[in-house]
Amino acid sequence: MADTESLRQVVHSRARLSTWFGIVLLFALFGVIVLAVIGPAPRESDYEQTRAKKRMENLKTSREEAAKALSTYGWIDKNKGIARIPIERAMELTVADLAQQKPAPAGPIATPERQAQPAASPSPAGSPQSGAAQPSVPPSAQAPTSPPPQVVPESPSPEPGKTP
């Protein structure tokens, strides 16, 4: 019985080895086939060159169509009576039309409203306080001040004849 057990172990170990060897051999065969197919193929890219030529042709045709549309007469919508004219003729007509018009005076310039300044600003550290006696200075010697900003009430006041 011992002989049959050792014989089974030898067969199983050889089976594992032959399985791995077969897998490696298949990968090598696949690699050789791939190299045989891809190897002689040219390395340059004709596909990109043909795409570049096609793009250049498309660009050329679109520029020719745009130049034709800018330099010829044609209907845009015949039912509505809309036509196109060459750009040079359109510029001539526009200049002639603008030359006939008289310049219009400019409208009034809107001035920004004055913003309300804060009523009480903090005094600097070296200036006298409000409770301290201040020397009297005649009004003519004081610096000119701007008039106080006008305050507009936010809610309408009641009419003189009506009281709430």
Query: How many C-beta neighbours within 10 Å does residue 146 have?
Result: 7
Report the distance separating Cα 15 and Cα 18, nearest Å.
5
DSSP H helices, 72-116, are: 87-100
Cα-based angle 87, 90, 91 (whole degrees, multiple of 5): 90
21-52 pLDDT per residue, tens: 889 999 999 999 988 888 766 666 788 889 99
Question: For position 10, what pLDDT does the model report?
Answer: 65
pLDDT in tens, 61-97: 999 999 999 999 999 999 999 999 999 999 999 999 9
Decide: residue 86, CB within 10 A, 0-12 exposed, 13-18 middle, 19+ buried: middle
Strand partners, 82: 77
Q: Distance of alpha carbon 159 from its chain centroid, rounded?
A: 55
User: Structural domain boundaries of the chain?
Assistant: 1-41, 46-100
